[in-house]
Structure 1
Amino acid sequence: MRLLVPVAGLTAALAMLTPPAPAQEKKATPLYEMRTYYSPPGKLDALHARFRDHTVKLFAKHGITNVGYFVPEGENKDNKLVYFISFPDKAARDASFKAFAADPAWKAAAAASEKDGKILTKIESVFLTPTDYSPVPKIEAKGNRVFELRTYTTTKGNLPGLDARFRDHTMKLFEKHGMTNVVYWHRAAGQPGAENNLTYLMAHPSKAAGLKAFDAFRMDPDWLAARKASEDKAGGSLTEATNGVLSEYLVPTDYSPLK
C-alpha cells in the first residue's frame, strides 16, 4: 500500500528540512571626521612636525585611520591644516580619542611641541558619512596631485535631487573630463547642515588642470541637459545662490597617506 502525501504537505515538510538562508549582514558605514587646525603665525611647521613625528603614528596605534592631511594650495594665510580620519562608528571614534588623549607618549609629544608656546589657536571638526554613490576612497600616494574640496549647500528639500544628479550624471561627466572622484559625503546625522550639505573630494594633476577640466565640464551638452532637467523638476536651482558651492584646492603634506 503506497502512502500518498499531498503536494502542499510535501512542500511544507521539505521546507522544514531546508536550513534557512543566512541573514544578509548590513554593510557598516564608516564615520569620517574632517578636522581643521589653525596655527599662530610662525607655528605651522611645529604643528606639521608633531603630526609627522608623533600624532599620525599614535592615531594608528589607537585605531584611528589616517586618510589625508592637506594645506591650501598657494598662500596659506590662515596657517591652516585640513585633515581627514575615519572610524568604524561614533562609539569607536570616542573610544579611540579617549585612549589617544590618555597616552603618555602623546602627552610628552604635546608638551615638547609647545615648549615655546601654543601651536594651535582653533580646531574645527565635522563628522561625515559616505553617500550611497561614493567610491571607497583609495588611500594611496599617486604622485604630484592636488585635491579639491567642494562643499554644496542645497536649497530647501533639494539634497535628494542633488544626490540623484551626481549619482546619475555628474560623477560620470567628471571622469569624462579627467577629474578623479575620491569620496562623497553627507554631514552625519545631528550635524548642522545634515539635511542640505554635500561635501566631496576630487583629485587633479594640478590646479590649472582642475580649472581647465571644470571649464570643459560646464560647457558639456550632457551636463547642461542634466542640470536643466534637475532644476526643472525642483522648480529652480538645487544650490543656494550665496555660498551654495564652495571650492578649495589643497595639496597633501609630506606625511599624508593620500597623495
Structure 2
Amino acid sequence: MKSLLQAAAVGLAMATTMGSTTAKAAEPEPVYELRIYTTNEGKLPDLLKRFRDHTCALFEKHGMTNLGYWVPVDKENGADTTLIYVLSHKSREAAKESFKTFGADPAWKQVREASEANGKILAKPPESIFMTRTEFSPELKVSASDPERVFELRTYTTNEGKLPELHARFTNHTCKLFEKHGMTNLCYWTPIDVEQGHNNKLIYILAHKSKEAGLASFDAFRADPVWIAAKGESEKNGSLTVPQPEGVKSVYMKPVDFSKIK
C-alpha cells in the first residue's frame, strides 16, 4: 500500500510539473514597444527625474513592464535631449488599455502638471514603435550585469522583399560572428505595423564594454573572412539594405540609473 501511495504521489507531482510547464509554454510572447522622447533644451534632467520618481512606477501600476532606459552617448544623436526606452506589454490591446488608464490616473496628471510648472518638457510627441521578437532573437534578459556597459541601437532598412534574406543572414552567420568579436546580442525585433517597417526593417540592440570596444569589434567583424564570404553570398543579387545613410543606423547609448537593463 505504501509503495502505491508513493507512486501516486510521484505521478501527481509529475502531472503538476507537466501542467505547469505546459501552461508556461502556452504564455503568449509579449509585445515590445520602443519609445523615443525628445525634450526641449535643458529639460532632459526634468524628464529623467519624472521617470525616476513617478512614471516608471505608474507604468508598472497600469500593467506595463519597464525594461531598458537609455540616453545617447553622442551629442549629434541627442545626448542632451533624448530618452530611448523599451517597454513590454501582454498584447497590443493591453498596451492601449494601459496607456489609457495611465493617462487618466490623477497621480499622473498631478505629476505632469508639477513637472511642467516651468515649461513643457517634450519638444514633440513621443515616437512609438510596437515590435515583436524575431525567431532568431535571444530572449531579452533583464539584468544589470555591468553598469559601465554601453548599448547600441541599430536599425536596418532593407530593399523591397529583402527582409527574409537579412533575417536568414543573421540566423546563419551574423549573430554568431557578433558574439565571436565580443559583442552581446540583446534582442532583435520586427515592427508590427507596415507603416513603421514591418516588411523592411530590423531593429536590434547590442551591448559592448564601451563605445570604443564596440567600434573595434565591428572593425574586426567586417574584416572576418567568414563575414566577407557570408555577405558576398547573400548579396549576389544586390544589396539587402538600402543605400546609406538610411540603410543602417546606429546610436550608442548609456543606461540611466533607473534602467533595469545595464
Deviant stretches of 4+, over 6 Å: 22-25
> 1:130 — aligned with what?
133
Among 77, 81, 86, the alignment partner of 1:79 is 81
The yes-or-no answer on 1:56 pairing with 2:59 is: no
Distance 2:88 2:25 in 1: 21
Alpha-carbon distance in structure 1 between the residues aligned to 2:26 and 2:101: 28
What is residue 248 of structure 2 aligned with on the other side?
245
* Counterpart in the other structure of 1:210: 214
1-side partners of 2:46 and 2:181: how far apart?
A: 39
The answer to whether the aligner puts 1:91 opposite 2:75 as a matched pair is no
Deviations 1:44-92 (A, max 9, x none): 1111100000000111111101011111103236611111111011011
DSSP-derived class of the 1:57 partner: helix
**Between 244-253 and 24-33, the greater mean CA deviation after superposition:** 24-33
- The SS at the match of 2:34 is strand
Task: State the distance in 1 between where 2:50 and 2:227 align.
Answer: 44
Give the deviation of 1:193 after TM superposition.
Answer: 1.6
Report Cα offsets for 1:102-138 as digits up to 9, x if no partner: 1111111111101111111111111111101111111
- 2:223 corresponds, among 204, 210, 219, to 219
Bigger mean CA offset, 119-128 vs 187-196: 187-196
More helix by share: 2
Number of residue pairs aligned between Structure 1 and Structure 2 = 236
How large is the RMSD of aligned CA atoms in angstroms?
A: 1.7
Give 1:24 deviation, angstroms.
Answer: 11
Quick check: 1:38–1:78 contact (8 Å CA) kept in 2?
no
Contact 2:156 2:203 in 1 (8 A): yes
Larger radius of gyration: 1
Deviation of residue 191 (structure 1)?
3.7
Structure 1 segment 6-155 matched on structure 2, within 5 A: 28-75=28-75, 76=78, 79-122=81-124, 123-143=126-146, 144-155=148-159
- Give per-residue Cα distances to partners, 1:15-58, cap 9 Å, x unaligned: xxxxxxx9997652321111111111111111110000000011
Q: Quick one: which of 180, 187, 191 aligns to 1:187?
A: 191
Structure 2 counterpart of 1:128, one-letter code? M
C-alpha contact 2:71 2:79 (8 A) present in aligned 1 = no
Which blocks of at least 5 consecutive residues in structure 1 are unaligned?
1-21
Give me the TM-score of the superposition, normalised by structure 2. 0.86
**% same residue:** 53
Deviations 1:171-216, CA, capped at 9 Å, x for gaps: 0000000100000001114443211000000000000000000000
Deviation at 1:154, TM superposition (A): 0.6
Matched letter for residue 74 of structure 1: D
Question: Does the Cα contact within 8 Å between 2:138 and 2:187 map onto a contact in 1?
Answer: yes
